[in-house]
Structure 1
Amino acid sequence: MTEHPLTTHTQKPLIDPSILRAAKRERPERTPVWFMRQAGRSLPEYREIRGIGSILDVIKDAKLVAEITMQPVRRYGVDAAVLYSDIMVPLLGAGVSVDIVQGKGPQISNPMRTTKDLDLLRPTEIRDAVHYVKDAIEILKSSLEVPLIGFAGAPFTVASYLIEGGPSKSYSKTKALMLEDERMWHGLMERLVEVAFEFLRLQIDAGVDLIQVFDSWVGSLSQRHYLKYVKPYTRELFNALSTYPVPKIHFGVGTGELLADMADMNIDVLGVDWRTSLRDAKQRSRRPLAMQGNLDPAVLEASPKTVLSECIEVIKSSRSCDGYIFNLGHGVPPHIDPAQLERIVRFVHEFGDKIRYEDLDPSVETIWEYLD
């Protein structure tokens, strides 16, 4: 794989901490913006240096990870870099046999279905086993002038992969085990709290500036099941992280009915998908929190003027938020034209504060003339 000249480990000062200020419910100089999955397959420069083989092989190359992480910062001018990694990485360090197959996603060779399978998870080994994550972060902190976001999968979402053996649309095996074998379920969730904590602690100690916990698939649960089987463990994770002074983002997909419960934790920012307006999310959270989101990623397939129109509506909905970070409601789709994201960043930086704080309601034509 290609070598990249990022070798020193002296940390550079941040020239734009706007996302950190927004996460603390302050008013930064401009509305911050970043995109989930901003690094990777949607960028031609990524495809040029990606090489062949599993993404997990790429992640083990600290210099290559640093370069991939920085690519969208250079291209888009986003206000944060997000570490190029995957929520499956700590499972590798914990002793699980996992691969990520292109077009299929994570694949677990031996899904966990019984209590004896729990012995396969060894969270205390993560720190040494995935040292390359620490190495990549140290390289990045010597070069980045914007904050670096670290992340991990929440216990439920990681559990769903371990039980299903891969991605699922119904999560039927996960739900059945959760309801029928509570001993197995609670044992698994306790271990996955430790897995997530160890992985995030490694990243924080290495220098990330804020973290996001992805509970991507928890929206598949009813509120009753979430409260009984999941929330206690997610709360335990955030409580364990509370002594670390980095801002913490909590995000899930399809979680409109769970937002109040997801907000009821030691977090600073609540990530919102596209199904719930930021205005409604703020009301449902019932406590002072910054909000993040929530442009529908599918809109990126539309014309540039349509995209800008939707961005205007999203930011107008953020007016009631105590702090706000612009983002998509989920990850960047793989075949999106990067020019769409470049245009969004320029729009948010130039017009975001005016729309939020001055109640500006500009026409798309006016913005288009300015940006074109």
Structure 2
Amino acid sequence: MAEPSHPRPLPAEHPLTTGATASSSLVQAYRGVRSATTPVWFMRQAGRSLPEYRALRADHKSMLDTCLDPALASEITLQPVRRHSVDAGIFFSDIVIPLRLAGVDVEIAAGTGPVFDRAVRTAADVDALVGGGSLRDDDDALEPVREAVRRTVAQLGATPLIGFAGAPFTLAAYLVEGRPSRDHLAARRLMHTDPDAWARLMAWCADVTGAFLRAQLLAGASAGQLFDSWAGSLSRADYVQHVAPASARALSWARGLAAGDGTTVPLVHFGLGTASFLDAMKDAAADVIGVDYRLPLDEASRILGGTVPLQGNIDPALLAAPWPVLEAHTRDVLRRGRSAPAHVVNLGHGVPPDTDPDVLTRLVALVHEAGAE
């Protein structure tokens, strides 16, 4: 399967085309331009840390059904923007949503995470999965996603929405393991025992998640982020040979989406535990690299040659620390972020569910004030 190429102008009503979000501090930072105020948003800013989210989910609708309810997904996306005054919304969804839309039987088990009806462990399993069909950005199955994005963008105005998608390795790891795993041993085993089957699986995952991301961008998201939650289980050699080509393929679905002035939708690539191959992640055609909490931003910038905008990387554990500790850490992150052409403040992973929301609100104010200073 050849890597897809999908050049296409953004719709006339897209917020990057109309200019509604083009000059926002977030989009400018993603394009390598520093604004007077440093932008900030948080991975997993929507969800369990917010009492309004817990109240909304009190009807016990399943997680995946919630993600595919346009009104609910939009409202959940908007909640942290209203509460914290962050500089972007991140589309509320789940990494396995495109798998479900492509026909994979998956549910989110409480206290466990994604659980699949059957694992994909052999070449025959891969062939059955791939033969069952894929996903295109114009598929009717994606209409709930497009509608949720449209609803959200209409409410956000000048605040950009970031599209959300899981990277191919993270999707493949879930499929092969059949459930969450600590070491992704079965996925890494398939990678080496049957590299042809692995490559077919990764290409399929890349196209499914790429179509999912592209649909969000065409519907109005002003940037896109590819999340590789489990890539940290890989060696550099395995990532470069067996994973990076599929990540590039996924991002290619979003490449070439351009506003009338020719500027394209910026793309962010984030992985957890990926310090040893940040450069390879950048080479997958990302504009911005997200850095987890393990690697100082100035070191990340050095690895990337000092030319790449960065996102990150406050340690989520420090959200529970005394305020002076969190403040000092945040100012250090801001200082180190000056080594990059531009910097978007974020956490080095997602917001823990027991986080005090008032801490996040206070943190946003600190970043904005410190950036202005």
Question: When the two structures are superposed, what TM-score results if normalisation uses the length of structure 1?
Answer: 0.89
Aligned to 2:35: 28
C-alpha distance in 1 between matches for 2:290 and 2:33: 17
Aligned to 2:129: 120
Aligned to 1:58: 66
Aligned to 2:188: 175
Aligned to 1:328: 347
C-alpha distance in 2 between matches for 1:254 and 1:24: 25
2:135 paired with 1:130 = no
Report if the CA contact (8 A) 2:268-2:288 is conserved: yes
Equivalent position SS for 2:192: helix
Matches within 5 A, 1:291-330: 291-330=310-349
Report if the CA contact (8 A) 1:235-1:266 is conserved: yes
Deviation, structure 1 residue 141: 1.5
Report if the CA contact (8 A) 2:266-2:287 is conserved: yes
Matched residue pairs, number? 346
C-alpha distance in 1 between matches for 2:85 and 2:193: 49
Report if the CA contact (8 A) 1:58-1:64 is conserved: yes
1:19 to 18, 26, 46: 26
Report if the CA contact (8 A) 2:306-2:340 is conserved: no
CA RMSD of aligned residues (A): 1.7
Aligned amino acid, residue 66 of structure 2: V
Deviation, structure 1 residue 125: 5.8
Report if the CA contact (8 A) 1:35-1:327 is conserved: yes
Aligned to 1:369: none
C-alpha distance in 2 between matches for 1:47 and 1:90: 24
Higher RCO (CA 8 Å, separation ≥ 6 residues): 2
Report if the CA contact (8 A) 1:264-1:285 is conserved: no
C-alpha distance in 1 between matches for 2:284 and 2:239: 14
Question: When the two structures are superposed, what TM-score results if normalisation uses the length of structure 2?
Answer: 0.89
1:261–1:14 Cα change, 3 Å: closer
Aligned amino acid, residue 232 of structure 2: G
Report if the CA contact (8 A) 2:217-2:254 is conserved: no
Aligned to 2:227: 214
1:198–1:125 Cα change, 3 Å: closer
C-alpha distance in 2 between matches for 1:338 and 1:195: 34
For each residue in 1:224-247, what CA deviation from the matched residue of structure 2 results, as whole angstroms up to 9, or x when unmatched? 111111112212223343212210
C-alpha distance in 2 between matches for 1:65 and 1:23: 25
C-alpha distance in 1 between matches for 2:101 and 2:134: 8
For each residue in 1:331-352, what CA deviation from the matched residue of structure 2 results, as whole angstroms up to 9, or x when unmatched? 0000100011011100000112
Matches within 5 A, 1:1-372: 13-14=20-21, 17-50=24-57, 51-118=59-126, 119-121=128-130, 122-124=133-135, 127-145=139-157, 146-244=159-257, 245-286=264-305, 288-354=307-373
Deviation, structure 1 residue 129: 1.5
Greater CA deviation, 13-22 or 168-177?
13-22
Identity rate of aligned residues, in percent?
43
Equivalent position SS for 1:276: coil
C-alpha distance in 2 between matches for 1:54 and 1:16: 37
Q: Structure 1 unaligned runs (5+)?
A: 1-8, 355-372
C-alpha distance in 1 between matches for 2:282 and 2:305: 8
Deviation, structure 1 residue 79: 0.2
For each residue in 1:92-141, what CA deviation from the matched residue of structure 2 results, as whole angstroms up to 9, or x when unmatched? 11110011122111111111112232333422367321311111011112
Report if the CA contact (8 A) 1:10-1:142 is conserved: no
Report if the CA contact (8 A) 1:16-1:79 is conserved: no
Greater CA deviation, 248-257 or 48-57?
48-57
Report if the CA contact (8 A) 2:14-2:218 is conserved: no
Aligned amino acid, residue 204 of structure 2: R
